[in-house]
């Protein structure tokens, strides 16, 4: 599948996939959707909210877990935190009902990022009846800065093992979502480098490992095609040796 065809499929499929998560028969589980799927605390506020709707035919109990989200050496780090206050932190949804969950931040640091996890509490069932599956919805929460924008600088390198990596460093005040990364060949053709989506947090970096592509030798120029929710941009880098 070429880069352009994959990109069209991505844009059509991505919003549907993460909007609703459900488990069909024969598994026993809650079936619920959450709205919105990306949480944000605006510059003039310290709270936000999300709603969960039970689309199933059985009651479902849910607890809410919160994690501080940072990035170290180009990778995501999640740590349990008390920075967020959730109300209610645990609840039960009847079939067809909706629960509004309010989330507040105790220390408002612009550019801060968190993960809010809605986790099903699986009910006890007699052995041998039905498979129990606990749903876990992991949503991002961003504390927005009053102004500014993401500002990404890209670099690429080949390490001693021969593996190629690209990394985006964000010196801006807001995060940036990267949906896909491709590259443009010398003949103008485009192809996909990675299907791994990621977020580059403010004052942080995010790394993508691309394998050991022999066409990207140390010292060679590499034209990256970076797909974000705002569109596609082109970045030229030189592959370094590490």
**H/E run at residue 12:** helix 3-19
Write the pLDDT tens digit of every residue in 40-83. 999 999 999 999 999 888 899 999 999 999 999 999 999 999 99
Q: What is the pLDDT of residue 74?
A: 96
- Rounded CA-CA distance 11/179 in Å is 9
- Rounded CA-CA distance 230/85 in Å is 32
* 14 has a pLDDT exceeding 90: no
* 235 has a pLDDT exceeding 70: yes
Q: Going from the N-terminus, what domains does the chain have, and what CATH number goes with each?
A: 21-143 (2.60.40.10), 152-241 (2.60.40)
Closest by CA position to 173, among listed 208, 128, 143, 194: 143
Q: What is the pLDDT of residue 161?
A: 83
Write the pLDDT tens digit of every residue in 123-165. 776 666 555 667 889 999 999 999 999 999 999 998 888 888 9
- Rounded CA-CA distance 226/179 in Å is 8
Burial environment of residue 32 by CB neighbours within 10 A (0 to 12, 13 to 18, 19 or more): buried
């Amino acid at each position: 599948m070429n880069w352009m065809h994959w990109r069209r499929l991505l844009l059509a499929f991505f919003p549907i996939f993460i909007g609703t998560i459900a488990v069909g028969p024969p598994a026993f589980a809650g079936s619920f959707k959450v709205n919105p799927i990306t949480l944000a605390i605006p510059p003039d506020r310290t709270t936000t909210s999300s709603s969960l709707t039970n689309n199933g035919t059985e009651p479902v109990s849910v607890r809410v877990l919160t994690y501080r989200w940072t990035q170290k050496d180009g990778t995501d780090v999640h740590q349990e935190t008390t920075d967020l206050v959730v109300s209610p932190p645990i609840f039960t949804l009847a079939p067809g009902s909706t629960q509004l969950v309010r989330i507040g931040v105790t220390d408002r640091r612009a550019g801060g990022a968190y993960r809010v996890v809605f986790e099903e509490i699986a009910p006890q069932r007699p052995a041998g009846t039905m498979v129990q599956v606990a749903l876990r919805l992991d949503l991002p929460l961003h504390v927005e800065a009053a102004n500014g924008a993401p500002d990404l600088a890209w670099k690429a390198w080949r390490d001693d093992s021969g593996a190629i990596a690209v990394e985006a460093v964000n010196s801006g005040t807001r995060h940036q979502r990267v949906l896909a990364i491709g590259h443009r060949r010398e003949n103008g053709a485009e192809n996909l480098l990675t299907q791994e989506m990621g977020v580059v947090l403010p004052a942080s970096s995010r790394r993508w490992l691309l394998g050991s592509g022999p066409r990207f030798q140390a010292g060679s120029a590499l034209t990256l095609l970076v797909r974000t929710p705002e569109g596609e941009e082109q970045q030229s880098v030189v592959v370094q040796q590490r």
